[in-house]
Amino acid sequence: MIHKTLYAPWRIQYILGPKPNSCVFCLPDHTDEDEDRFVLCRAQHCFVIMNIYPYSSGHIMVTPYRHVQHIVDLSVAELHEMMEYIQISAKVLEQAFRPHGINIGVNIGEAAGAGIREHLHVHLVPRWVGDHSFMAILDEVSVIPEHLRSTYAKLRPLFLNLQATR
């Protein structure tokens, strides 16, 4: 049996690094930090941000500004806008990456797999036939590699363009 290893060196920063004292999804009002924080676009009630520890290239999240833990805590306006930006995000991912599919999911609570359970966020993960099957790595693993900055540079203009045409 051949031993195969998948290297994801960017994850060591998260594993060993200091954890923030404040919520990583509670963003300041101003936009001068958006590129450093990998914020792709902002709307009235939510924003789209890249996952800096992605399962796949293009792994992004739609997040409400308001610090809520559960989907039932969202207002109707927040919920509607988040769904609108989930749809926009799916369009952008399809345009930028041409995935074979997209996983869209919400993990509510630790038992459901929420890594940051204090602030609701919706994951959009581009998928390709034969990819990493959500990290169930057994054999013949194929991961689409792309640096976060390259992904940001690819996605940001697409979001800006879609917002400009709305």
Domain count, the chain: 1
pLDDT, one tens digit per residue, over 15-57 is: 677 666 788 888 876 778 899 899 999 999 999 999 988 888 8
Within-domain flag for 16: no
Within-domain flag for 1: no
- CATH number, domain at 78? 3.30.428.10
Within-domain flag for 24: no
Within-domain flag for 52: yes
Question: Which residues are tagged catalytic?
Answer: 121
Within-domain flag for 74: yes
Q: What is the pLDDT along the chain (166 residues), one digit of tens a residue?
A: 555 555 666 666 666 776 667 888 888 767 788 998 999 999 999 999 999 888 888 999 999 999 999 999 999 999 999 999 999 999 999 999 999 999 999 998 888 777 888 899 999 999 988 776 544 444 444 455 688 889 999 999 999 988 777 7
Within-domain flag for 136: yes
- Report the predicted TM-score, pTM, of the whole model to 2 decimal places: 0.79
C-alpha distances (whole Å) from 158 to each of 15, 25, 28, 34, 151 are: 31, 22, 23, 15, 11
Q: Using the 8-state DSSP alphabet, how is residue 111 labeled?
A: G
CA triple 130-109-40, angle to 5 deg: 60
Within-domain flag for 143: yes
Q: Which domain holds residue 66?
A: 34-159
